[in-house]
Amino acid sequence: MELHEYSLLELSERLRRREISAIELTEAVIQQIERLEPQIQAYITLTPDLAREMARQAQARLDAGEWNPLLGIPVAIKDNISTRGIRTTCASRILQNYIPPYDATVTARLKQAGAVILGKTNMDEFAMGSSTEYSAFHPTRNPRDLSRVPGGSSGGSAAAVAAHMAIAALGSDTGGSIRQPAAYCGVVGLKPTYGRVSRYGLIAYASSLDQIGPMTKTVADCALMMNVIAGKDPLDATSVEVPVPDYREALRADVQGLRLGVPREFFAQGVQPEVAQTVRRAIDQLADAGAIVEETSIPMVEYGLPIYYILAPAECSSNLARYDGVRYGLRVGAELGHIGMMERTRAEGFGDEVIQRIMIGTYALSAGYYDAYYLKAQKARTLLRQEFDRAMAQFDALLCPTAPTPAFKIGELISDPLAMKLMDVLTIPVNLTGLPALSVPCGSVDGLPVGLQIIGKPFDEPTVLRIGYTYEQLTRQ
């Protein structure tokens, strides 16, 4: 194996034993980027000079006897997470030249741990999409098949990890944007419980749904990333004061006696039969390992998509009102007066998908429609959460597919917005309920990766990771 192909855990141990240097490792990953980035285009902004300097600093800390699992590890960061001094665009023309004056809390924690920042990864504009085709700059290609999408909106992070152009990456998940691309690219992706990881410095799409999480090569790597980024943050009022466990302790291959529910609705919503069969085989392997597996039902799941596509655009309409050409970002038509400048700036700065969601959200919040749409969707969200609560009272976790199909071809769904949105039908309910969920590779259909989604109780990421780790070990034997 080449150096850049090893997992975070393996590389961390090799750095600790002084078998390799952080400088050597970073150079190997940069060379991999130089080889593959022209075809895959996983990044928007690359920072090789910064990465080399951070690697030198990490090596100095290692030479002084310091060590932690992320010290000297090259990572990538999704381009909607603020990075001080590094361009952060949200893959939008409206922020094309924006350079944040501060770090997101997760960025600061990675830096403090000594991780090496390789650059900012491509995404659907403002995280609105399921394929990374809605980027204002370029689409990203799936390393498993260059004719196909990597998923979205964190498609750049998933592709970078899958192509070994980063050892690990951060993504954000509003309706499946970590888990769905992880499934499409055959990597591991975790959406933590809402409030487990600080959102300070995450450029908001839908504030009650957004959550930052890790995208990695293995479940163990996911645990190591969570140990760094999880925890209460005084700068984020929505982060929760809940003790953070050592997630490495969850890494034991044992599901004996765990009660795992299989909601039948997650196998009905347009799920390709071959995908369903692949996921059921994975569930059977966990049952053979000692888990107690039972079918269950969560009827409100079928309303997840309409609930989401009222609430998320409504929050997007509010959050994106700040891009008015006055304070930062693109400014066009200053000679047209304040209103004219705002209209021209937003028309030229936002892509079609973003404009569509802003308009839908503005409509849902407008006088005369608020009660009919937004308020009703919030009530339905509460009913959905109550059904999940009842299911979680019976089971330790729920198992289902991550996405209804494997990765589709670039351009295949771009003109069919409903079909595109249906690619998130199995992940959206988790964001609406705030629960943690992990996607782990569980086989393939026609040579394309398929993901097993493991949904846990609030703040019970350790059980989710334990199940994912057990499945990973079972399939590696």
The answer to whether 168 and 157 have CB atoms below 8 angstroms apart is no
Nearest to 29 by CA among 19, 16, 43, 13: 43
Annotated catalytic residue: which of 131, 154, 157, 177? 177
Joined tokens for residue 292? 């107690």
Catalytic residue check, 82: no
Residue 87 CB neighbour total at 10 angstroms: 17
The answer to whether 182 and 189 have CB atoms below 8 angstroms apart is yes
Cα 338 to Cα 472: distance, rounded to the nearest angstrom: 56
Catalytic residue check, 217: no
CA dihedral 7, 13, 18, 23 (to 10 degrees): 30
The answer to whether 330 and 95 have CB atoms below 8 angstroms apart is yes
Classify strands 448-456 and 188-191 as parallel, antiparallel or unpaired.
unpaired
Annotated catalytic residue: which of 7, 21, 78, 82? 78
The answer to whether 379 and 389 have CB atoms below 8 angstroms apart is no
Cα 305 to Cα 295: distance, rounded to the nearest angstrom: 22
Catalytic residue check, 130: no
Annotated catalytic residue: which of 7, 12, 92, 153? 153
Report phi then psi at 260, rounded to 5.
-120, 125
Radius of gyration for the alpha carbons in the chain, expressed in angstroms and rounded: 21
Cα 463 to Cα 176: distance, rounded to the nearest angstrom: 20
Report phi then psi at 116, rounded to 5.
-105, 125
Helices (H), 146-189: 155-162, 179-185
Question: How many Å separate Cα 308 from the centre of its chain?
Answer: 17
DSSP category for residue 230: B
CA dihedral 164, 168, 170, 171 (to 10 degrees): 50
Sign of CA dihedral 367, 373, 376, 381: negative
Report phi then psi at 244, rounded to 5.
-100, 115
Report the residue count for the chain: 477
**Can you state the angle between helices 304-319 and 376-394, rounded to 10 degrees?**
120
Q: State the residue for tokens 């409509």.
A: 363
Beta strands across the sheet bearing 74-78: 43-46, 116-121, 74-78, 168-172, 212-216, 188-191, 437-445, 448-456, 397-401, 259-263, 292-296
Cα 58 to Cα 47: distance, rounded to the nearest angstrom: 16
Cα 452 to Cα 141: distance, rounded to the nearest angstrom: 22
Catalytic residues: 78, 153, 177
